[in-house]
Amino acid sequence: MKTKIYGPFALRKNLNEKETLLADSHGITFLSDSKGNDWYQLQKKLSPDRLKVVFDEKGVVNSASYDASTLWPQFFNLVEVDFLPENFEKTPTGGKWIFDGEKITLRVYSADELAEQASYRKNTLLTEASVIISPLQDAKELGIATDNELAELNKWMLYRVSLSRIDSKIAPDIIWPDIPA
């Protein structure tokens, strides 16, 4: 059976009088896909027994549900699938799944994507460390730090330096330092 793909969905501009009233009075947004399928009408035709998967132009899965009314495919495509890979989360996050036109598979990230993810993680961890270090550093500079605070400051500063030395381009082969306990 050939897989039926709908989309990409966009805001529908040509609304009839009733739809215009609903849009103006209740803030309802109307979508249709490139073939003219209205999102609300299409939902009635979809099978409640098949998983609906929303994905972008590269096939990266954005969301999935058996209940189409819980999805919002604006800017995305939609497909119903029968087969799910092992460990597929029905609320996928992080773009780790891909729809290849026929089936859902684990996404294989490019070296650039892995480096970007590592850079994001590194920057997030550096920010979190700096938030912890800042008041400890203040206490030290004011001469009011306790021995415990000085020990904590030292651990966190070593951690932050270790993080700063990470080269994100070698992802996924990064050995991340342990967060101080």
Residue 162 has pLDDT above 70, yes or no: yes
Dihedral pair phi/psi, residue 149, rounded to 5°? -65, -40
Label residues 35-53 b or e (16+ Cβ within 10 Å = b).
eeeebeebeeebeeeebbb
119 and 38 part of one domain: no
Among 106, 128, 153, identify where a domain stops. 106
* pLDDT (average), residues 49-72: 93
Number of domains in the chain: 2
Task: Please state, in angstroms and rounded to a whole number, the distance separating the CA atoms of residues 1 and 161.
Answer: 56
91 and 18 part of one domain: yes
pTM score: 0.68
87 and 136 part of one domain: no
CB 38 within 8 A of CB 31: yes
Strands annotated E in the chain: 5-6, 9-11, 31-33, 51-55, 61-65, 77-81, 97-99, 104-106
pLDDT digits (tens, 9 = 90+) for 9-60: 999 988 999 999 999 999 999 999 999 999 999 999 999 999 999 999 999 9
pLDDT digits (tens, 9 = 90+) for 109-118: 899 999 999 9
pLDDT digits (tens, 9 = 90+) for 87-109: 887 666 668 899 999 899 988 88
Worst-scoring range by mean pLDDT, 48-62, 121-135, 141-155, 162-176? 48-62
Label residues 56-67 b or e (16+ Cβ within 10 Å = b).
beebbbbbbeee
102 and 152 part of one domain: no
Position 73 scores a pLDDT of 95
90 and 138 part of one domain: no
133 and 153 part of one domain: yes
Length, in residues, of the chain? 181
Residue 23 forms part of a structural domain:
yes
Residue 136's domain comprises: 111-170
147 and 117 part of one domain: yes
